[in-house]
Amino acid sequence: MAAAPERIALVTGASAGIGLYTALGLARAGILVVMAGRDPSRTGRARDIVAESSGSAAVEMAIADFASLAAVRGLAETVLSRYDRLDVLVNNAGLIAPRCELSEDGYELTIAVNHLAPFLLTNLLLDRIRASSPARIVTVASQSHRGARLDLATLTKPPDWSPLGAYGRSKLCNILFTHALARRLSETGVVAASLHPGVIATKIGDRAGKLAGFGWRIVKPFLTTPDKGAETSLFLATTTDPWPFRGAYLIDKRAAQPDPAALDVDLAERLWTESVRLVGL
C-alpha cells in the first residue's frame, strides 16, 4: 500500500491562471493537491497539466460553482469525506462580473463568489484544518481593495454597483475576513494570511465592463504572468516558518500595510457576523 501523503492542499479556482500555477507549485513541493474548479472539463485538463508538469500522481480534482452556496457546501462535504487531513487551503477563486448579476442565492455575484463562498468553505473545513495543525489558510486578495468602503446593510445588493467597485469591495472583505479569522485562530497552530498577487495577465479583467475590459486587454501583454502571480501564495503555503505572517497582508512575499479600512477591527467583526447570517452558518 502506498504511503499516505504527508500534506494535503485544496486550491480553489485552480483550472486556470494563478490557481493553476499555485497547484503546480504545491504538487512540485510533494503535496497532494486537490484542484477545485467550476467546469469539469477545464478542471480535468488543468489537473492533467499539473500532474504531467510536476511528475506527481497526487493531483486530484473537485467541482463546485462558487455562485451557489449549496455547491460550496457540497465541495466541503467532498473534501471532508475524501481526506482525513487538510494542511493548506488556498482561497483563490474569484471574478470580476461584467454586469450586476445575482448568485443562485440572490446575492450580488461578485461578493457571493469572492467573499461569501470562501468564507463559508473555510468555516466548514475549519475543524479539519485545526486538526491538521500546523496548517495555513491563504486568501488571495488584491490592491484593488484600496479606497473601497463597505455598507453592510447593502453588502449583497449595492446601489452604486460597478464592475471594479464591486471587485474592490469583495477584496476588502477578503482582508477583513482574514484578520478576523486570524484572531479566532490565535491560540492554534493555523496561520491565516491574505495577499496581493500583483497585476496579473489572466482573463479576470476581460469581463470587467466594456471600457475597463477593453483597457485590460490592451495592457494585459505587459502585465505579470500567472506563474509569477502564484509566488506569494506558494510562499505562504510552503514557507518553513509562517508564524510571522499571522493575519498579515503580503505583497511580493513581504508583509505590507493595507488600506486603513482593512484594519478596522469593529468592521471585520460586523462583517463576520453578517457573513455568518448570509451563508446560514
What's the rounded Cα separation, in Å, for the pair 29 and 199? 25
Which entry of 21, 83, 167, 249 is annotated as an active-site residue? Answer: 167
In a domain, 207, yes or no: yes
For residues 42 and 61, the answer to whether their CB atoms sit within 8 Å is: no
167: annotated active-site residue = yes
pTM above 0.85, yes or no: yes
In a domain, 63, yes or no: yes
Specify the CATH number for the domain of residue 259.
Answer: 3.40.50.720
Q: What pLDDT score does 223 carry?
A: 54
- Quote the number of domains for the chain: 1
For residues 148 and 173, the answer to whether their CB atoms sit within 8 Å is: no
- The series of mean pLDDT values per 10 residues for the chain, 281 residues long, is 70 96 96 98 96 94 98 98 98 95 98 98 98 97 96 96 96 98 96 89 52 48 75 96 96 97 98 98 94
Q: What pLDDT score does 5 carry?
A: 59
Q: What pLDDT score does 225 carry?
A: 78
Q: How far is CA 215 from CA 98, 170, 184, 208, in A?
A: 13, 21, 40, 9
In a domain, 145, yes or no: yes
In a domain, 235, yes or no: yes
Q: Which domain range does residue 267 map to?
A: 8-279
In a domain, 2, yes or no: no
In a domain, 1, yes or no: no
In a domain, 22, yes or no: yes
Helix (H) or strand (E) holding 110, with range, is: helix 109-111
In a domain, 189, yes or no: yes
